[in-house]
Amino acid sequence: MTTPDPTTQAVEVHHLYEISRIVTQSTDWNSALDQIVPLLRSIFIFDNLAVYLADPFHHTLDVMFARAVGRGRSAEADIAWGENIANQIMDHPEVKIIEPATVSAQNRLASPYILGIPLQAGERTLGVLVLIRFGGPPFNQAYIHLAQFIAQQISLLVERQNLQKAYDLLEAQSKESRVQEDFISTITHELRTPLGFIKGYTTTLLRSDTEWDPQMQQEFLKIIDQETDRLQELIENLLDSARLQSGTLKMIFQPVRLDSLVRSTIEHLRMHHPTFTAHLETDTPLSPIEADPKRINQVLENLFHNAIKYAPGSDVWVKIKEQDGEITLTIEDHGPGIPQRYLPFVFERFFRNPDASPNIHGTGLGLFICKKIIQAHHGNIQVNSIQGKGTTFIIRLPLHQPKGGDFGELSEEA
């Protein structure tokens, strides 16, 4: 590097200041490097730049950023030239230079000068910065000092992103821990309530100092039966949730008339909830779908129970339409609705509306189970809601399942 005149030196200082400013203000190190490369190129001669980062879990060195800005612009030139020196520096973290034995004027790409600088945070080596010139000039001490400054800036970017990832992970773990604590509290309450009824009425019936007339005995036994059903439903939901989460719940597909299944589910619910009113509107004729009737019935019951709990007194409107090889099922109520801020979370495991009445029981598993079952049928489920006007669930299911298995493939996405 020749001795710069004052104007050149001022440009260098300005560009280095800009690089530091980008590093300070950037939240994404890839985008920061995209801005830094042209600034660096104007004060530092290089053809290729690559950043290799260490993966501490797999003990590998991966190229995370590469740009070819001069001679040798190709994907291979971006990455391959620097791999050898990067691995050497990871073994012995120090500045390394590789120079060609001879320089070919006819083929500059055969004469690379390679400079490698370790990216460090304290005593830890995060990765390696590699700069390449094809055909020279060699890297002198001034260029090496400049490259070390850039490596320090890149190290700051990488370390900040690592810290942000660690913080986000801790936040997610903390949130999961809080959710699980709330869930355990909810489950404890949900289990204690039916068990309390069952124990109380059973003890009452078994008292030897009191005789109950047949009508009263029948009333007590009816309550015990209802609470036992509630307890059984809770346990089944817990088991299904665990199986769906792990992808082990089997789907047994067979031809199903969805309109018939909806009608039978509504009639069954009316036996336990005489005031429940649902209106069914469907295309005719309607093609059968390949589905697991037991699991689709479970989805319908969960959604209808939601309407009964959260929109008491409201009629429910069910529409089934067939179009383009799929069935669309909508279930709509005119209840109080769900606040918009909670809509992105309603299908999450354990989520319950914080604004709902404390008298409404639930575990936060019902809609999670619905989503997983629909995903296992290669369909999707959505929710729309307007406060004060009601909530609509929209389910789309293919008429035919992909060939090659009896079970749905469960997505890991919740």
Between CA 270 and CA 279 the distance in angstroms is 13
CATH number, domain with residue 320: 3.30.565.10
β-bridge mates for residue 65, sequence order: 51
Highest mean pLDDT pick, 179-183, 237-241, 381-385:
381-385
Domain that holds residue 191: 175-246
Is 271 in the same domain as 218?
no
Looking at the domain assignment, is residue 406 inside a domain?
no
Between CA 289 and CA 351 the distance in angstroms is 30
Between CA 346 and CA 305 the distance in angstroms is 15
The predicted pLDDT at position 172 comes to: 76
Last residue of a domain, one of 246, 271, 288: 246
Looking at the domain assignment, is residue 329 inside a domain?
yes
Is 354 in the same domain as 238?
no
Last residue of a domain, one of 143, 169, 195: 169
Looking at the domain assignment, is residue 408 inside a domain?
no
Highest mean pLDDT pick, 139-143, 188-192, 235-239, 340-344:
340-344
Last residue of a domain, one of 194, 219, 246: 246
Is 161 in the same domain as 204?
no
Average pLDDT of the residues in 89-104: 84
Is 130 in the same domain as 65?
yes
Looking at the domain assignment, is residue 7 inside a domain?
no
The predicted pLDDT at position 382 comes to: 96
Looking at the domain assignment, is residue 43 inside a domain?
yes
- Measured in residues, the chain has a length of 414
Considering only CA atoms, which of 407, 365, 377, 405 is closest in space to residue 296? 377
Looking at the domain assignment, is residue 41 inside a domain?
yes
Is 240 in the same domain as 159?
no
Of the pLDDT bands very low, low, confident and very high (cuts 50, 70, 90), residue 177 is confident
The predicted pLDDT at position 198 comes to: 85
Contact 319, 396 (CB under 8 A): no
Is 97 in the same domain as 189?
no
Between CA 368 and CA 414 the distance in angstroms is 7
pTM of the model: 0.52
Looking at the domain assignment, is residue 106 inside a domain?
yes
Residue 56: partners with Cβ closer than 8 Å, 6 or more residues away: none
pLDDT exceeds 60 at position 365: yes
Residue 284: partners with Cβ closer than 8 Å, 6 or more residues away: none
Token couple for 248: 């082990």
Of the listed ranges 154-168, 209-223, 356-370, the least confidently predicted one is 356-370
Looking at the domain assignment, is residue 414 inside a domain?
no
Highest mean pLDDT pick, 45-54, 257-266, 346-355:
257-266
Token couple for 315: 């009629």
The predicted pLDDT at position 413 comes to: 36
Phi then psi dihedrals of residue 104, to 5 deg: -95, 120
Of the pLDDT bands very low, low, confident and very high (cuts 50, 70, 90), residue 76 is very low
Token couple for 45: 């001669």
Is 138 in the same domain as 95?
yes
pLDDT exceeds 90 at position 334: yes
Of the pLDDT bands very low, low, confident and very high (cuts 50, 70, 90), residue 191 is confident
The predicted pLDDT at position 255 comes to: 95
The predicted pLDDT at position 75 comes to: 45
Of the pLDDT bands very low, low, confident and very high (cuts 50, 70, 90), residue 265 is very high
The predicted pLDDT at position 323 comes to: 92
The predicted pLDDT at position 104 comes to: 64
CATH number, domain with residue 234: 1.10.287.130
Between CA 227 and CA 230 the distance in angstroms is 5
Between CA 401 and CA 326 the distance in angstroms is 11
Of the listed ranges 183-197, 286-300, 308-322, the least confidently predicted one is 183-197
Structure-model confidence comparison of residues 382 and 413, the more confident one: 382
Token couple for 61: 């060195």
Is 29 in the same domain as 145?
yes
The predicted pLDDT at position 402 comes to: 86
Is 199 in the same domain as 164?
no
Structure-model confidence comparison of residues 268 and 70, the more confident one: 268
The predicted pLDDT at position 189 comes to: 62
Is 85 in the same domain as 218?
no
Contact 276, 313 (CB under 8 A): no
Is 221 in the same domain as 106?
no
pLDDT exceeds 50 at position 407: no
Contact 297, 290 (CB under 8 A): no
Between CA 395 and CA 373 the distance in angstroms is 11
The predicted pLDDT at position 409 comes to: 41
The predicted pLDDT at position 412 comes to: 34
Between CA 71 and CA 65 the distance in angstroms is 18
pLDDT exceeds 50 at position 414: no
Between CA 316 and CA 329 the distance in angstroms is 13
Is 121 in the same domain as 231?
no
Q: What's the number of domains the chain is made of?
A: 3
Mean pLDDT, the chain, rounded, equals 82
Of the pLDDT bands very low, low, confident and very high (cuts 50, 70, 90), residue 248 is confident
Between CA 375 and CA 291 the distance in angstroms is 12
Between CA 128 and CA 22 the distance in angstroms is 20
Token couple for 310: 């959260």
Of the pLDDT bands very low, low, confident and very high (cuts 50, 70, 90), residue 376 is very high
Average pLDDT of the residues in 240-254: 80
Encoded amino acid at 251, one letter: M
Highest mean pLDDT pick, 22-26, 325-329, 362-366:
325-329
Given the DSSP bridges, would you call strands 278-282 and 316-323 parallel, antiparallel or unpaired?
A: parallel
The predicted pLDDT at position 411 comes to: 35
Considering only CA atoms, which of 253, 233, 353, 351 is closest in space to residue 302? 233
CB neighbours (10 Å) of residue 246?
10
Cα dihedral sign for 279, 273, 344, 249? negative
pLDDT exceeds 80 at position 94: yes
Given the DSSP bridges, would you call strands 278-282 and 124-134 parallel, antiparallel or unpaired?
A: unpaired
